[in-house]
Chain A
Amino acid sequence: MPAARDDGARGARLSRQTLRQRFAAYLLHHRQMLAAGFGRLRRHPLATLMTVMVIGIALALPAGTLVLVSNAKSVSGTWQGAARISLFLKQNLSDSALQQLADRVRTYAGVASVKVITASQSLAEFQQHSGFGDTLSLLGNNPLPAVLVIRPANAYTTPLAAQQLGQELGALPQVAEVRMDIQWLRRLQAMLDILHRAVLIIALLLALAVVLIVGNTIRLEIENRRTEIEVSKLLGATDAFIRRPFLYHGAWYGLAGGVMAWMLVLFALLLMAGPVAHLASLYGSQFHLSGLGLKGSLTLLVSSIALGWLGSWVAVARHLRAIEPT
């Protein structure tokens, strides 16, 4: 039996395989399953497309909403950067005392710039804009105080820091009243935080939906390949070996769904760019919508792959044990 003996010699070599050869074979199997998983998606393009669309929509909803929320946050952030602190000063401050005070305030770390409005400037402005000019001239002396308008330095534009700066400046003896128009911004910020949180919760639910969708698709695939699983088990395949093609298959679904979601978000933003630019122009702003960005895109793709893999793991863990050769 020359052929048989020849085969026997090779069989003996099998047990002498080095660890490195085994690892190479292991890596090769991973590579093959990666390619085979993609091949399976391509073999049934219509069914695959439908599954991928469902995953894509489920992922695009939270991703797109998060993009809008972060855009809204960045808009409110720029408004906040424009926050002003007005110091209404006590009456009867001489012009030189006013300048001294302004110089002193400029030395504060949180202060970027100080604009001085003297009492007479206030009056002139009021007369010009209010239409009560004549009434004021009846009063004889100027009832309006001098004002210091302060633009906080960048590090002091957050609500909390601006508040502290305002309190600090308000403690100066010459200051009668501090006014900050940032309260509504803080409320807006709080509302956006709530919205952000709500979107995250929805995102978690939709992520669960993706896991279930992929899990169900892979369950059908497992059912279709029942014979192959049984035969492989009889030939000594480990659970990991049998699991591998399904995990790659699921990961491919995730990736394809992620790419689909990415395109849907991009498309939606393109559709909204025109109206948003129009609205911004009505406010005299240069604002334009920003998209997912590199970091957001990578996060979307990585998490979609992870969800596909997880969904397939759930299906495989539940069904593979049930398939035993009989």
Chain B
Amino acid sequence: MIQFSEVNKRYAGGNEALAGVSFNIEHGEMVFLTGPSGAGKSTLLKLLALIERPSRGQIVVNGQNLGGIRRGQIPHYRRKVGVIFQDHKLLHDRSVFDNVALPLIIAGVAHQDIPKRVSAALELVGLAHKERALPVMLSTGEQQRVGIARAVISRPPILIADEPTGNLDPDLSFEVMQLFRRLNQVGITVLVASHDHTLIRRLGQRVLSLRAGRVVAPELQGDAHAGRA
């Protein structure tokens, strides 16, 4: 579903964020991406969302080589990848309903279908009663769940999340991760960047670990975990 082959990303200025990254995520898998700050987690997710382009190497998502996607085709690619941000990126001048409905409006979904689908998505994240609220009236955890509802409403086959629990307390974090788990169980391929090792171990999913722009071998990482635990 997601395939990186020898991917390098060097930013203007010489900073090499990713160096020879190769991995493969199967359809329907749920994978955690870990590593310290500056290890290249965000860069990797940006490459997947086509916010950045790799300097070298090849990325294939859902059978599509990202190198072959021209600028004009990026919007159509992005509609098939749900993205969740640490800072939610909600629009604060409009209601929860309008925020969640935005991907459908962008995709040109018939307007009579929109309310039902927004309700279903908000129900999924447990915010069915908050449709009319403005994002500022919600707690951080609730805002994050609105962001998740917005990411899944167009039912993308892939969901990527950048530190989705970065601002949440442990209970809320676990709840949000449970939500990803449930989305994964209905067939969505999920990639979550997080440095919350305790939480990751509790969920028991495959872990992809980055150190200084390289994928670290699982056994090494297991040692690291063992050492810390």
Contacts and interface: CB of A to CB of B under 8 A. Distances in A.
B212 to A, nearest CB: 22
Contacts of A11: 154-155
Contact of A235 (B79, B117, B155): B79
Contacts of A10: 113, 116-117, 120, 155
Interface of A is mostly: helix
Nearest to B83: A234
A227 B109 CA distance: 23
Interface string B44-55: 000001010000
A12 B157 CA distance: 11
Nearest to A23: B108
A22 interface: yes
Nearest to B185: A1
Interface residues of A, number: 36
B102 A234 contact: no
B113 A29 contact: no
Contact of B75 (A12, A13, A29, A236): A236
Interface of B is mostly: helix
A29 to B, nearest CB: 7
Most buried by B among A1, A3, A12, A326: A3
B91 A5 contact: no
B187 A8 contact: yes
Contact of B123 (A3, A8, A237): A3
A234 B105 contact: no
A228 interface: yes
Most buried by B among A1, A6, A238: A238
Nearest to B182: A1
Given A10-B116, A326-B51, A236 B108 contact: no
Contacts of B89: 227, 230-231, 234
Most buried by B among A1, A7, A24: A7
B188 to A, nearest CB: 9
B106 A7 contact: no
A10 B102 CA distance: 16
Q: How large is the interface on B (under 10, 10 to 19, 20 to 34, 35 or more residues)?
A: 35 or more
Interface in B166-218: 182-183, 185-187
A273 B179 CA distance: 75
A4 B185 CA distance: 10
A4 B83 contact: no
B121 interface: yes
Contacts of B108: 17, 22, 25-26, 29
B51 A14 contact: no
B114 to A, nearest CB: 9
Contacts of A286: none
B141 interface: no
A21 B108 CA distance: 8
Contacts of B111: 24-25, 28
A232 interface: yes
B62 to A, nearest CB: 14
Most buried by A among B76, B102, B185: B102
A287 interface: no
A235 B102 contact: yes
A228 B98 CA distance: 12
Interface of B: 49, 51, 72, 75-79, 83, 89-91, 102-103, 105-111, 113, 116-117, 120-121, 123-124, 150, 152-155, 182-183, 185-187
Closest 7 A-B residue pairs measured CB to CB?
A11-B155, A236-B79, A236-B78, A21-B110, A25-B108, A4-B186, A236-B75
29 contacts: A1-B182, A1-B186, A3-B123, A4-B124, A4-B182, A4-B186, A7-B153, A7-B155, A10-B117, A10-B120, A11-B154, A12-B155, A14-B107, A17-B108, A24-B111, A25-B108, A227-B89, A227-B91, A231-B89, A231-B90, A232-B102, A234-B83, A235-B79, A235-B102, A235-B150, A236-B78, A237-B106, A238-B75, A324-B51
